[in-house]
Amino acid sequence: MADKIREIQSRFSRNMQNNDSVAAVIGYIPLFGWIYPLFFRKENDFCQFHGKQAMHLNAGMLVVYFAVWILENFPITSWLFGADSWFHPITQAAWRITMLGYFGLCAFGAYKAFIEERWEIPFLSDFVDRIQNQIKK
Residue 93, by phi and psi: left (phi above 0), alpha (psi -120 to 50) or beta? alpha
Find the angle CA(120)-CA(92)-CA(99) to the nearest 5 degrees: 25
Share of the chain above pLDDT 90, in %: 30
- Please give the mean pLDDT across all residues of the chain: 86
Listed residue (35, 36, 8, 31) closest to 20, CA to CA? 36
Euclidean distance between CA atoms 95 and 24, whole angstroms: 27
Euclidean distance between CA atoms 74 and 54, whole angstroms: 29
pLDDT of residue 107: 95
Residue 15 has pLDDT above 70, yes or no: no
**Average pLDDT of the segment spanning 1-28:** 75
The predicted model scores a pTM of 0.78
Euclidean distance between CA atoms 103 and 28, whole angstroms: 9
Residue 26 has pLDDT above 80, yes or no: yes
